[in-house]
Structure 1
Amino acid sequence: MISQAIRLARVGSRSELAAALLMGLGYPCVMLAALIPNVWFFAAAAAVTYLADRYLHHRGSYVINRLGRVRAGLSIRFLLRQLMIILLLARLDLSEGPLFYTAVACFLLFFGLQIPQGALTTLIKLRRTMPVITRNVDLNAVRIPDAPPSALLRRSGEKMLHLDIPAMAGILIAAGTGENAAAYAGAALSLLLALLYVAALAPYLRRSRLAPRPAAVLKAVDTWLGEYQPTVVLYFSGSNESAYQGNMWLETMARIEGRPLIIMRERGLVPQLAETSVPVICVPAGTHLMNLDLSTVRVCLYPANVGKNIHILRVPTMKHVFIGHGDSDKLASVNPYSKVYDEVWTAGRAGRDRYALADVGVRDEDIVEVGRPQLESIESGAGALRNPIPTVLYAPTWEGWDDNPGNTSLLLAGENIVRGLIDADEPVRIVYKPHPFTGIRNARAKAVDARIRAMLEKAAAERAAEPRWAREAGRTAADRSA
Structure 2
Amino acid sequence: MNPLNAAKTLSTIVGNIRRKRNAIQAINSSPLAFSYLPNGDDRFQAALYFADQMVNAYQLRQWYEPMRMLAKQAPVVVLVRNPETAVALRDECPLPIFFAPAIADIETMLESQRIETVFYVNQNIRNFQMMRFNGPAHVFVSHGESEKSYMWSNQLKAYDYVFSAGQAARDRLEKNLSRYNAAERTKLIGRPQIDVTYPAPVQVNQNFKTVLYAPTWEGDRPSMSYGSALSHGLPMLKALVAEGNCNIIFRPHPRSGINNREYKTALHTIRELFENSQRVGSPSYFYDETDSWGWQWTAADVCVTDISAVAYDWLATGKPIIVTKPSNPQAEIDESPALMKVPNLTAAEAKNAGTIIRGLMEATNHDFYELVDYYFGDTAPGASMQRFINESMAIISEQRQTT
- The answer to whether the superposition gives a TM-score over 0.5 is yes
2:229 matched residue in structure 1: 410
Aligned to 1:297: 115
Instruction: Pick from 242, 264, 281 the counterpart of residue 98 of structure 2.
Output: 281
Q: Which has the larger radius of gyration?
A: 1
Equivalent pair of 2:79/2:99 in contact (CA under 8 Å): yes
- Code of the residue aligned with 2:192 in structure 1: it is P
Deviation of the 1:133 alpha carbon: 5.4
Q: 1:248 aligns with which of 62, 73, 78?
A: 62
Residue in structure 1 matched with residue 74 of structure 2 by the alignment: 258
Confirm or deny that 1:237 pairs with 2:51.
yes
Aligned match of 1:437: 255
1:346 maps to which residue? 164
Secondary structure at the counterpart of residue 241 of structure 1: helix
Once the two structures are TM-superposed, the CA of residue 267 in structure 1 deviates from its matched residue by 0.5
SS in 2 for 1:135: helix
Q: Which amino acid aligns with 1:239?
A: Q
Per-residue deviation, residues 295-320 of structure 1 (Å, max 9, x unmatched): 62222111111111112212223221
**1:146-295 equivalent positions in 2, closer than 5 A:** 221=37, 224=38, 228-256=42-70, 257-273=73-89, 274-294=91-111
Q: What letter corresponds to residue 241 of structure 2 in structure 1?
A: I
2:33 is aligned with what amino acid?
Answer: R
Shift of residue 397 of structure 1? 1.4
Superposition pairs of residues 13-412 of structure 1, within 5 angstroms: 65-66=8-9, 130=28, 134-135=32-33, 138=36, 221=37, 224=38, 228-256=42-70, 257-273=73-89, 274-294=91-111, 296-359=114-177, 362-365=180-183, 366-377=185-196, 387=206, 389-404=208-223, 406-412=225-231
1:420 shift after superposition: 4.0
**Is the CA contact 1:328–1:397 (under 8 Å) kept in the aligned structure 2?**
no
- Return the letter of the residue paired with 1:270: A
Larger relative contact order (CA 8 Å, sep ≥ 6): 2
Once residues 321 and 360 of structure 1 are traced to their aligned partners in structure 2, the CA distance between those partners, rounded to angstroms, is 19
Greater helix percent: which structure? 1
Structure with greater proportional strand content: 2
Distance 1:127 1:270, change over 3 A: closer
CA displacement at 1:436 relative to structure 2: 0.7
- TM-score scaled by length of structure 1: 0.47
Q: What is the CA-CA distance between 1:373 and the residue it aligns to?
A: 2.4
C-alpha displacement of 1:252: 2.2
Match of 1:447 in 2: 265
**In 2, Cα distance between equivalents of 1:430 and 1:242:** 25
- SS state at 1:292 partner: helix
| Deviation at residue 416 of structure 1 after TM alignment | 2.8
Deviation at 1:282, TM superposition (A): 0.8
- 1:2-21 equivalences under 5 Å are none
Q: Normalising by the residue count of structure 2, what TM-score does the alignment of the two structures yield? A: 0.56
SS in 2 for 1:430: strand
Q: How far apart are residue 337 of structure 1 and its match? A: 0.9
Partners of 2:231 and 2:276 in 1: CA distance: 22
* Structure 2 gap ranges (5+): 15-20, 199-204, 285-298, 300-403
In structure 1, C-alpha distance between the alignment counterparts of 2:197 and 2:65, rounded to whole Å: 15
1:243–1:272 Cα contact (<8 Å) kept: no
Amino acid corresponding to residue 123 of structure 2 in structure 1: N
Structure 2 counterpart of 1:298, one-letter code: E
Question: Displacement, 1:345?
Answer: 1.4
Cα gap change, 1:230 to 1:250, in 2 (>3 Å): same
Rate the CA distance shift 1:127–1:453 in 2: closer, same or farther, 3 A.
Answer: closer
| Structure 1: 5+ residue stretches without partners | 1-7, 11-61, 74-122, 139-220, 380-385, 471-479
Instruction: Quickly say closer, same or farther: Cα 1:447–1:293, change in 2 above 3 A.
Output: same
Q: 1:395–1:362: structure 2 CA closer, same or farther, 3 Å change rule?
A: farther
Per-residue displacement from partner, 1:190-214 (whole Å, max 9, x unpaired)? xxxxxxxxxxxxxxxxxxxxxxxxx
